[in-house]
Amino acid sequence: MPVFKYKGYNPEGSATEGVIEADGQKDAALKIKSLGIFPREIKEEAPSYKKGPFTKYSPLVLAGLTRRLSTLLSSGVPLVDAISALSSEQKGAWSGVLIDIKERVSGGASLARALQAHPEIFKDFYTGMVAAGESSGALTDVLMKLADFLETEVNIKNKVQTALIYPLFMACVSVFIVMFLFTFVIPKITKVFEESSAALPFATIVLIQVSNVFKNFWWLLLTAAAGLVITFRRVSKNRKDIIDRVLLKDPTGILMGLYMLRFTMTISFLLSGGLPILRAMQLTSRATGNVVLENRIMAARDLVSQGAKLSSSLDGFPPTLLQIIATGEQTGRLAEVLRKTADSYESEFDRKLQRSIGLLEPILILTMGLVVGFIVVAVLLPIFEMNQIVQ
């Protein structure tokens, strides 16, 4: 909702000014008059910050700001003063965002309503939790839970990225070395064999043919690789369900474990924050990261809205998880049970991820060794045969 800055006169006739949130110029004027102020000038306030094309808002910074805001509020600091203190600590885009939020709250908007003006930073689950905290009077507790949740999400993402850095680096280096060998090194070595009239071993013939392909059609290989990348991106954008359906069949079970971790962690967090089950399911469906599971959760939401139980509505979820949910529903401790289940999924995910990465590294080294070994054998075989002919 837009923010309007006004100047006018109060009932005592003194000049006054301030900001107010309204749907439009007329609505702003009515709200100002309802405060007993005669408006002299009303002007829509432009955002006090500018978001650049490369501006990114770190979830870790958001978690820190959320935690500090909770601490300030629990210490008795008024909301506007707390946001003002946080904005003075920040620089750049974050400072502008906090100032804009402070102005909206000063104009009479709730904190949740002010946060909704920045959807690129504060997602639906964040604003929904804040709104629930404001209505229940437990905003400080909700903000602390939000900070913990955001930090946990960042930690999980960092674990995956850190685990994949070394294998991806090894794979890229291996591909570069192989392409360099077949394009520049091997043609010079095999040129001697091609000029000889002696019959060449099968391995050497294969090596020469592969080398010729890299040397003469490298542009075609690069074009094909670029085409695959573009095709994958288009499919990911337009038909993500196809890719996600394949990912669900991951034989290692790592991805399913990650999806279930996100599901249990998010829905337990939202339920513990006071959100209704239907709203919590809607927000959780988007957090899983898989379109197929998102559709299944939304289908289950429709059944729950008709009176069905959550445990009997989820299709395609692990039977163990469904039994745990059923137990939580029977005991009335669904949020607590799901939170403990999320901790269990996180521990299991860590073990599987480390085990898989531990296996991936020797597989890459073994593959590279086999390629180099084939090259060495293909080069040495004709040399040995020439030596035998000379003798």
Same domain, 131 and 191: no
- Greatest alpha-carbon span in the chain: 118
Cα distance between residue 59 and residue 77, in whole Å: 24
In terms of DSSP bridges, do strands 38-44 and 15-21 run parallel, antiparallel, or are they unpaired? unpaired
Same domain, 339 and 325: yes
pLDDT value of residue 3? 65
- The stretch 133-152 carries a mean pLDDT of 87
Cα distance between residue 324 and residue 247, in whole Å: 24
pLDDT value of residue 117? 85
Same domain, 160 and 271: yes
Q: Kindly report the pTM of this predicted structure.
A: 0.71
- The stretch 236-240 carries a mean pLDDT of 81
From 115, 150, 185, give the residue that closes a domain: 150
pLDDT value of residue 243? 87
- Is the pLDDT confidence value at 150 over 80? yes
pLDDT value of residue 390? 53
Same domain, 200 and 63: no
- The stretch 356-371 carries a mean pLDDT of 85
- The stretch 251-273 carries a mean pLDDT of 89
pLDDT digits (tens, 9 = 90+) for 57-91: 788 899 999 999 999 999 999 999 999 889 888 87
Q: Are the CB atoms for 159 and 258 separated by under 8 Å?
A: no
Region of 253 please: left (phi>0), alpha (psi -120 to 50) or beta: left
Q: In the predicted model, what is the mean pLDDT of the chain? A: 84
Cα distance between residue 119 and residue 288, in whole Å: 19
- Is the pLDDT confidence value at 45 over 70? no
- Is the pLDDT confidence value at 151 over 80? yes
Task: Kindly report which listed range (84-98, 106-120, 193-207) carries the lowest average pLDDT score.
Answer: 193-207
- The stretch 171-196 carries a mean pLDDT of 80
pLDDT value of residue 240? 83
Cα distance between residue 274 and residue 293, in whole Å: 24
Cα distance between residue 39 and residue 22, in whole Å: 14
Domain extent at residue 39: 3-44
What's the pLDDT band for 389 if we cut at 50, 70, 90? low
pLDDT value of residue 68? 93
Same domain, 295 and 375: yes
From 150, 170, 191, give the residue that closes a domain: 150
Task: Kindly report which listed range (14-28, 161-175, 349-363) carries the lowest average pLDDT score.
Answer: 14-28
Is 50 within the bounds of a domain?
Answer: no
Is 54 within the bounds of a domain?
Answer: no
pLDDT value of residue 386? 67
Is 119 within the bounds of a domain?
Answer: yes
Cα distance between residue 245 and residue 248, in whole Å: 5
pLDDT value of residue 310? 92
Cα distance between residue 277 and residue 283, in whole Å: 10
User: For 167-204, b where at least 16 C-beta lie within 10 A, e where not — what string?
Assistant: eeebeeebeeebeebbbeebbeebeebeeeeeebbebb
Say which CATH number the domain at 175 has: 1.20.81.30
Q: How many CA atoms lie within 13 A of 292 on its CB side?
A: 17
- Is the pLDDT confidence value at 41 over 60? yes
Q: Which of 140, 128, 146 is nearest to 62 (CA)?
A: 146
How far CA 90 is from CA of 36, 50, 130, 165, in Å, comes to 36, 15, 22, 31
Q: Which of 390, 368, 339 is nearest to 149 (CA)?
A: 339
Cα distance between residue 136 and residue 121, in whole Å: 24
pLDDT value of residue 321? 93
Tokens coding 380: 């040495």
Same domain, 186 and 119: no
pLDDT value of residue 320? 93
pLDDT value of residue 208? 84
For the chain, report the end-to-end CA distance as a whole number of angstroms.
92
Is 260 within the bounds of a domain?
Answer: yes
- Is the pLDDT confidence value at 339 over 80? yes
Is 51 within the bounds of a domain?
Answer: no
pLDDT value of residue 383? 78
**59-74 and 79-89 helices, crossing angle to 10°:** 140
Is 316 within the bounds of a domain?
Answer: yes
Tokens coding 336: 């607590």
Is 193 within the bounds of a domain?
Answer: yes
Residue 377 CA to its chain's centroid (Å): 46
- Is the pLDDT confidence value at 16 over 70? yes
Match 């994958």 to its residue by tokens. 232
- Give the residue with greater pLDDT, 183 vs 80: 80
Same domain, 222 and 322: yes
**Residue 5 DSSP symbol:** E
pLDDT value of residue 193? 73
Is 209 within the bounds of a domain?
Answer: yes
Same domain, 248 and 375: yes
What's the pLDDT band for 319 if we cut at 50, 70, 90? very high
Task: Kindly report which listed range (61-65, 83-87, 235-239, 326-330) carries the lowest average pLDDT score.
Answer: 235-239
- The stretch 104-113 carries a mean pLDDT of 85
pLDDT value of residue 303? 94
Same domain, 281 and 183: yes
What's the pLDDT band for 214 if we cut at 50, 70, 90? confident
pLDDT value of residue 21? 65
Same domain, 28 and 69: no
Same domain, 15 and 37: yes
Q: Are the CB atoms for 109 and 1 separated by under 8 Å?
A: yes
Taking the C-alpha atoms of 347, 348, 353 and 356 in order, what is their torsion angle to the nearest 10 degrees?
140
Same domain, 29 and 63: no
Q: How many structural domains does the chain have?
A: 3
Where are the extended beta strands (E) located within the chain? 3-9, 15-21, 38-44
